[in-house]
Structure 1
Amino acid sequence: MSALAQASDDRRQRALAALAEKPDGVVEALAAKAEVTPAEILQVLPAGAAVIAAKDAFANIWSDMTGWGDVLFIVHTDDIVLEAEGSLPEGSEGHGWFNIHGDSPIGGHIRKENCASITFVDRQFHGRRSCSVWFMNEKGAAMFKVFVRRDEQRELNAEQLSRFEALRSRYA
Structure 2
Amino acid sequence: MSGGQERFLRATMPAADVVFNLARRLTPSAADAEDLVQETYARAWAAWIDGRRPRRAAPWLATICLNLGRDRLRRRATHAEVPLPPGFDPPGRVDVAGEAITHCVIEAALHRLPEEQRIAVILMDLCGFTAAEAAAITGSPRGTVLTRVHRGRKKLAQTVAEVKHGAPRS
TM-score, normalised by the number of residues in structure 1: 0.25
Which structure: greater strand fraction? 1
**TM, length-normalised to structure 2:** 0.26
> Greater helix percent: which structure?
2
